[in-house]
């Protein structure tokens, strides 16, 4: 399997990348493209020509599979994509979390809030009091049943 990611860029940068890939770059300055990350591995800079853009590595909510074909008939799975590099303009907001909020498609907009289960808010004191209350009942129940006692080797 290959290692792949999704590169999301602003429209103006997308046009420059498309010209670069189609080898229609007007000058030698447009032919330079680089992506470098800082020590934390989550923030970095995307460089195309002489322009620098801030970039962030974000986790996707869902895993996206990518496929390729050699004969336009049979698809071969090449990777599971779980991360996206988001390139933004200098004046755009920095993402608050390490996870991309909206994923890739419009139906997944704000999906973490709408579709996934929230983490339970456990109060330690309430949990301990319930455990102390129910533990003697469980012990009494298990000792009164014959099959548990026979498993313990008492009978």
Question: Taking residues 1-15, what's their average pLDDT?
Answer: 87
Q: Are 34 and 113 in contact (CB under 8 A)?
A: no
7 to 20, 49, 111, 141: CA distances (angstroms): 15, 17, 21, 59
Each residue's pLDDT tens digit, 96-145? 787 777 778 888 788 777 777 777 777 777 777 888 888 888 777 777 76
Q: How confident is the model at residue 155 (pLDDT cuts 50, 70, 90)?
A: very low
The whole-number pLDDT of residue 24 equals 62
What's this model's pTM, rounded to 2 decimal places? 0.64
Residue 43 clears pLDDT 70, i.e. is over it = yes
Region label for 72, one of left (φ > 0), alpha (ψ between -120 and 50) or beta (otherwise): left
Each residue's pLDDT tens digit, 44-91? 999 988 889 999 999 988 889 999 999 999 999 999 999 999 999 988
């Amino acid at each position: 399997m290959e290692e792949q990611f999704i590169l999301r860029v602003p429209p103006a940068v997308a046009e420059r990348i498309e010209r670069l890939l189609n080898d229609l770059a007007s000058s030698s300055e447009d032919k330079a493209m680089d992506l470098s990350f800082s020590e934390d591995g989550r923030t970095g800079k995307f460089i195309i020509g002489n322009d620098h853009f801030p970039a962030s590595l974000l986790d996707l909510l869902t895993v996206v599979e990518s496929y390729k074909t050699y004969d336009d008939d049979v698809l071969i799975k090449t990777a599971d994509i779980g991360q996206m590099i988001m390139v933004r303009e200098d004046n755009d907001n920095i993402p608050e979390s390490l996870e991309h909020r909206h994923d890739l498609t419009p139906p997944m907009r704000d999906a973490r809030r709408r579709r996934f289960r929230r983490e339970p808010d456990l109060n330690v004191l309430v949990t301990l009091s319930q455990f102390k209350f129910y533990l003697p009942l469980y012990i009494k129940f298990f000792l009164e049943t014959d099959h548990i006692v026979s498993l313990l080797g008492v009978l």
